[in-house]
């Protein structure tokens, strides 16, 4: 009996080591695909406010870095699942599983280290997801602010209307052409006045003048058009006119993504107290948003443990059907998991449409339905794993 313990410990280490290689390879491939898609989405949203010339390679790298923590809850469980399935597929092809059973090691024993690894990865993923997402969210907004500070009015592309600054106090700017010396030609500036009205400045040429840390637009040979109270338009020509350029500022880093689970719990407690005083839709929506965010932070990390419980017995019972079978099995598990997540989201949306606000524990339990389904399936498979 004492001679068997080191051998079993060696088998545990062997299986765990075999899982890491395909899991890391899968992590690289999936990370490139998911992070690349997230970066493309963010760059497109940036281009609504910034010209493409503003982007540098360092900006793209930083956006990629800040996108990673938001995807950890998906990348780690999926790659861990693929690592399990591919490892057992390889062991089945090389008859290693048969050899281990012949040595008196039950398949259920082979599953144990994988389930323990899944539990450890769930804890690791939770901390990365919970601490990394707020950090990345704040850093992303800092990056956007930094890029806005670098943007000056004379860097706007020609031939189209741009929003420079916020919609309430910012300008709408059109630049016809640009000279090599920085002179702007055929420029139109719309300055909001309130009430849906705006004054218009048109100039044949303009230059951006920077003095004492502030920027002014020097307009030459132009026309100032101001709407009157009685729907009349005052047109005043000018040879030269200076206008202070609006200051650009990034958005504040607010939202559920900017908070940890403990902070979200405090916010939902405050919102629940506010809802007792003011039964308004905005308060109800905020409360639901906090509860759903907490539920997601708790459910996604547990996917690591859930997939280990169901994937390990499926992989352990794999015969010589090869990697195609194991890969297909992993794909089915992932598809079922996210299908259940989608059904839960639809159920929560239907409850909200019926003005039913779930309690925090109810929202958390609903979010755990995909994990619970995998746990139940995995428990049944574990019970029968040695019955060939």
Measured CA to CA, the distance from residue 386 to residue 388 in angstroms comes to 6
Does residue 52 have a pLDDT over 60? no
pLDDT digits (tens, 9 = 90+) for 301-310: 999 999 988 8
Q: Are strands 161-164 and 171-178 parallel, antiparallel or unpaired?
A: antiparallel
* Weakest mean pLDDT among 47-51, 214-218, 316-320: 47-51
Taking a C-beta distance cutoff of 8 angstroms, is the pair 309, 382 a contact?
yes
Query: For residue 4, what pLDDT is reported?
Result: 45
Contact predicate 169/143, CB 8 Å? no
Alpha-helical segments (H) within 191-322: 261-277, 281-299, 303-316
pLDDT the model gives residue 370: 92
Measured from the Cβ of residue 294, the count of other Cβ atoms closer than 10 Å reads: 22
HSE on the CB side for 130, CA within 13 Å? Answer: 21
Mean pLDDT on 78-85: 88
- What's the pLDDT at 303? 92
Q: What is the dihedral of CA 364, 291, 348, 285, to 10 degrees?
A: 170
Split at pLDDT 50, 70, 90, the class of 17 is confident
DSSP-assigned letters across all residues of 41-65: HHHHHHHTTS-GGG--HHHHHHHHH
The pLDDT value given to residue 170 = 81
pLDDT of residue 368: 92
Q: Select from 83, 103, 66, 70 the least CA-distant residue to 28.
A: 83
pLDDT at 188: 92
Paired strand residues for 194: 197
Residue 250 and residue 139 in contact, taking contact as beta carbons nearer than 8 Å: no
CA angle 143, 146, 151 (to 5 degrees): 125
- Phi, psi angle pair for 65, to nearest 5°: -65, -40
Burial 72-86 (b: 16+ CB within 10 A, else e): bbbbbbbbbbbbbbb
Vertex 307 angle, CA 303 and 309, to 5° = 120
What's the pLDDT tens digit per position in 113-135?
888 899 999 999 999 888 888 88
Q: Measured between alpha carbons, how far is 314 from 208 in angstroms, rounded to an integer?
A: 67
Beta bridge partners of 214: 211
pLDDT digits (tens, 9 = 90+) for 130-142: 888 888 888 887 7
For the beta sheet containing 161-164, the strands, ordered from the edge strand earlier in sequence to the opposite edge, are 161-164, 171-178, 184-194, 197-211, 214-227, 233-244
The pLDDT value recorded for residue 22 is: 82
pLDDT tens by residue, 226-257: 887 777 788 889 999 988 888 766 555 566 78
- Contact in structure between 330 and 311 (CB atoms under 8 Å): yes
148-169 pLDDT per residue, tens: 666 677 778 888 888 887 777 7
Q: Are 79 and 125 in contact (CB under 8 A)?
A: no
Q: Provide the pLDDT confidence category of residue 8 given band limits of 50, 70 and 90.
A: very low
Q: Which of 1-5, 63-67, 183-187, 284-288 has the highest mean pLDDT?
A: 183-187
Is 248:148 a contact under the CB 8 Å cutoff? yes
In degrees rounded to 5, what are phi and psi of residue 351? -65, -40
Among 76-80, 98-102, 250-254, 371-375, the range scoring the smallest mean pLDDT is 250-254
7: pLDDT strictly greater than 50: no
C-beta separation of 223 from 235 below 8 A: yes
Question: Quick check: 211 pLDDT over 90?
Answer: no
> What integer is the mean pLDDT of 93-122?
82
pLDDT beyond 90 at 143:
no
Question: pLDDT confidence of 373, banded at 50, 70, 90?
Answer: very high
Residue 202 scores a pLDDT above 90:
yes
- How far apart CA 21 and CA 83 sit, in angstroms, is 7
Asked whether the predicted pLDDT for residue 187 surpasses 90, the reply is yes
Structure tokens at 151: 């943007």
Q: In the prediction, which pLDDT does 3 show?
A: 46
Q: Quick check: 15 pLDDT over 80?
A: yes
Q: How much is the mean pLDDT over the chain? A: 81
pLDDT, mean of residues 264-272:
91
Mean pLDDT of 258-277: 89
pLDDT of residue 261: 92
Residue 240 confidence (pLDDT): 92
Q: Is the pLDDT higher at 232 or at 344?
A: 344
pLDDT surpassing 80 at residue 147: no
């Amino acid at each position: 009996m004492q001679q068997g313990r080191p051998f079993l410990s060696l088998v545990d280490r062997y299986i765990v080591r075999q899982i890491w290689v395909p899991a890391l390879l899968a992590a690289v491939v999936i990370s490139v695909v998911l992070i690349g898609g997230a970066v493309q989405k963010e760059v497109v949203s940036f281009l609504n406010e910034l010209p493409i010339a503003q982007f540098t390679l360092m900006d793209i790298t930083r956006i990629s870095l800040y996108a990673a923590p938001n995807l950890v809850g998906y990348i780690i469980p999926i790659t861990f699942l693929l690592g399990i399935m591919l490892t057992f597929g390889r062991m089945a092809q090389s008859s290693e599983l048969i050899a281990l059973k012949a040595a008196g090691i039950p398949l259920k024993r082979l599953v144990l280290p994988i389930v323990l690894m899944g539990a450890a990865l769930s804890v690791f993923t939770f901390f990365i997801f919970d601490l990394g997402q707020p950090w990345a969210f704040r850093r992303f907004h800092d990056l956007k602010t930094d890029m806005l500070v670098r943007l000056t009015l004379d860097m706007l592309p020609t031939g189209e209307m741009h929003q420079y600054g916020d919609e309430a106090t910012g300008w709408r700017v059109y630049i016809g052409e640009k000279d090599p010396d920085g002179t702007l030609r055929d420029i139109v500036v719309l300055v909001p006045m309130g009430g849906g009205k705006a004054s218009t400045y048109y100039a044949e040429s303009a230059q951006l003048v920077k003095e004492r840390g502030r920027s002014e637009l020097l307009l030459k040979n132009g026309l100032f058009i101001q709407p009157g109270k009685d729907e009349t338009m005052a047109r005043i020509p000018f040879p030269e006119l200076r206008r202070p350029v609006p200051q650009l500022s990034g958005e504040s880093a607010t939202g559920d993504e900017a908070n940890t689970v403990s902070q979200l719990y405090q916010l939902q407690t405050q919102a629940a107290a506010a809802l007792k005083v003011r039964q308004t839709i905005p308060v109800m929506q905020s409360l639901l948003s906090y509860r759903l965010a907490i539920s997601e932070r708790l459910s996604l990390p547990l996917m690591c443990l859930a997939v280990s419980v169901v994937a390990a017995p499926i992989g352990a019972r794999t015969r010589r059907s090869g990697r195609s079978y194991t890969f297909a099995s992993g794909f089915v598990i992932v598809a079922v998991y996210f299908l259940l997540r989608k059904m839960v989201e639809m159920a929560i949306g239907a409850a909200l449409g019926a003005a039913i606000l779930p309690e925090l524990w109810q929202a958390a339990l609903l979010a755990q339905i995909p994990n619970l389904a995998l746990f139940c399936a995995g428990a049944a498979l574990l019970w029968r794993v040695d019955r060939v």
